[in-house]
Amino acid sequence: MCPADMMSQSQLITYAQAAEGAGLDTIWVPELYGRDPFVTCALLLGATQRIRVGTAIANVYVRDARATKAAAYTLADSYGDRFDLGLGLSNKVGNVPRGHEWLAPLTKMNDFVDRYDTAELMFSHKDTQVCRYLAAHGPKLMTLAGARLDGAFTYLQTLAYSAEAKDRLAGKKLLLMQPSVFIEQPDQARDMARKAIAVYMPLTNYHRAWRERGFADADFQQGGSDPFIDALIAWGSVDRIRERYQAQRTQGVDHIIIIPVKLDMQSAAAWRTLEQLVQG
C-alpha cells in the first residue's frame, strides 16, 4: 500500500522502482483527501516496467462510473494492462462532508456497476483488460463482488472471516489489506498497531463487522484489546509475519496487500525487509 500523500513526486518514483526491485507484485494507491489516485497510478506506472499498479480504493462517490471507466482503461491501454481498479464506498463520515447523499451500499454499487458496464468509450479498448475489485465486509457486498466483479478487498478482519469471504466470492479473488508491524516486542508492537488503526476504531460499520466475528464492545475500548489486535494485525519478526500471511492464504486469501507499519519506506533497509518477506 503506497502512502502517496506522504511523498513528493521524486519520492514516489523512487518508491515505485524500489517496490519493483524488491519483487512485489502490485503497488496499491488509496484515495483519501490528497493526491488523485488515478494520476498517482499513472506516475507509478510510468516509473516502472513490470509491476502492477491499482487503486485501493477509488471512492465511487467521488467520480461517476463513466469517468472511472475512462480513467481505468486509459491507464491500462497506456501501460500494458498493468492497471487494476479497486473500488469502494468509503462511509458516511468520508462522503457526507463532500456533499454526497449517503445511499444504501448495495443500491449504490449495483447502479455504479450497471453504468460502468454500459458506458461507451470513444477510444478503442476491446483488447484492454482491467480487473475490478470491491472493498467489502458485509455478505451482500461480498456476494455482489463475486457475481459482478473480479473479487473483493477485505480489511481488519480475522482468519475465520477470510474463509467465509472466499466462499461468498464464488471462486473470485480475495485480496486482504494487512497492517503489518515489524516489531518483535509484544507491548510495543500492539501499541504501534493501535496507533495505526486508530482512525477506524470509532466507525460503527467496522464495529458491526467485528461483533459478527465474536468481539464485544469492550474489545474496541482504549485502542483495542490485546486479543482483538492479535486477531487483526500481523506483528513480530519477518518470519512470524510471513507465517501469518501463510495462515491467511490457507483460509482462501489470494493476494495480500502489505501495509507496513513502523517501516521507513524511504530507506534501503525497509525495502530489504520487504524483499526478505516476499521472497523468503
Residues whose CB falls within 8 Å of the CB of residue 140, separated by 6 or more in sequence, listed in order: 105, 106
Q: 79: how many CB neighbours lie within 10 A of its CB? A: 18
The confidence score (pLDDT) of residue 91 equals 66
Q: What percent of the chain has pLDDT over 90?
A: 88
Please check the confidence at residue 92 and state whether its pLDDT lies above 80: no
The confidence score (pLDDT) of residue 187 equals 97
The confidence score (pLDDT) of residue 93 equals 63
Please check the confidence at residue 96 and state whether its pLDDT lies above 80: no
Please check the confidence at residue 95 and state whether its pLDDT lies above 70: no
The confidence score (pLDDT) of residue 98 equals 72
The confidence score (pLDDT) of residue 242 equals 97
How far apart CA 76 and CA 73 sit, in angstroms, is 5
Q: Which is higher by pLDDT, 98 or 55?
A: 55
Residues 207-223 pLDDT 10s = 988 999 999 999 999 99
Residues 132-147 pLDDT 10s = 999 998 899 999 999 9
Region 154-165: mean pLDDT is: 95
- Of 48-52, 186-190, 210-214, 250-254, where does mean pLDDT reach its minimum? 210-214
Region 251-275: mean pLDDT is: 96
Please check the confidence at residue 32 and state whether its pLDDT lies above 90: no
Residue with cell 477510444: 123
Question: Does 57 sit behind a cis peptide bond, omega within 30 degrees of 0 on the bond before it?
Answer: yes
Please check the confidence at residue 47 and state whether its pLDDT lies above 70: yes
Region 93-121: mean pLDDT is: 87
Question: Number of C-alpha atoms within 13 angstroms, CB side, residue 264?
Answer: 4
Please check the confidence at residue 280 and state whether its pLDDT lies above 80: no
Region 61-90: mean pLDDT is: 96
Please check the confidence at residue 99 and state whether its pLDDT lies above 80: no
**Average pLDDT over the chain, rounded to an integer:** 94
